Structure 1
Amino acid sequence: MTGPDLSLERAARAGGALRVAGVDEVGRGPWAGPVTACAVILRGPCPPGLDDSKKLSAKVRGAMEPWLRDVAWHGIGEASVEEIDGMGIRRATHLAMARAVAALPVRPDLALVDGSDRPDLPCAVRTVVKGDSVSLSIAAASVVAKTWRDRGMVALAQRHPGYGWETNMGYGTAAHRLGLERHGVTQHHRRSFAPIHNMLRR
């Protein structure tokens, strides 16, 4: 089984899109924390073994991230818990992606976006189902987005101990649920999500 490659990027460049960005997000499903997106335009060779961030260990992702920052232009965008609660996770994810693209030091001609849901971006967009397993640019974006958000959740865990965010990254685990029962809901929880909403109603 082969991993992601640069086939889509090469085809796009052959069609005139010289700057091709991969765009991916992390954090649609957690109960706490922002949704984070990254846009990456590769300029050099990728680290060996680059793949969908979910297929890589935290140690491998951490080793790859500085390499990727060296060989790519990248931009990070986030949507806050307040924005997620106010506009819904889908629109908040699109907002984070738009912010990531806007944060790039150069404007891409084309964005290859993971998934089938097309965001409104300031460039041409092509959605790619399971894109982080197909495109190295999207895989790179997935790794940078994941490591960035994980660092943020570890930092939040130090300020709000007891929820297990340093390991569950805000996702709905037994430790997280126990923390909610013991310590209550914080300002970093997504109050529109059913488990948090139902707890507040009780």
Structure 2
Amino acid sequence: MKYLVTSMKGGVGKSSISVNLSAHTGSQYITNDITPPAIEDFIQIPLNKKKIPADLAQLENAVFDLGALSTLLDTKIAHAARFCDVIIIPTRTDSRSIAATLKTYELLQDAGKPIVIIINHFRDQKKHEAARDQLLSAVGRTPIYSIRETTLFDRISRDGIAWLLNIQNTKGLYMLQKTVQKHNAVYDRITAIGERGK
């Protein structure tokens, strides 16, 4: 399964979701970010490349964490959208993030691939519901999932993927274990959508 995680706005949690998703699915993490997350195993695509290199596009299991420019899609994103099985657009609840999400959705809709939106790292339930309502009115039946604010992403940055994969064996981290289970449930639903779209 190949996943594309992208947004036209920075700071919405693309890399955090991509790293978690790649760990959960056992996929290769690939990014075009000039400052990739502090994880052990990743592939960085140089910014000067116009397309995803053929060897990476042909990987069986990969998560592409590709940032966009603020006004147009990076050509690598348009290329990845053609061969990835599902497109994931993370967003926050603020109006700028929602606007960027809708613009990203509009630009990627023509790829003909399933698109999923994740309202990410939210704390305020009322703001979450307002953002969800706004998105639903604009994108109709597109699946929208939610991931609450958590320290999980910070811990992964600090302690790495090996820590995440072993969290179920770690005493004293009950709440983070529950968080991982909730995240994994979202990633499993996204994977199922991608499988159906094949």
If the length of structure 1 is used for normalisation, what is the TM-score? 0.27
Larger radius of gyration: 1
Give the TM-score taking structure 2 as reference length.
0.28
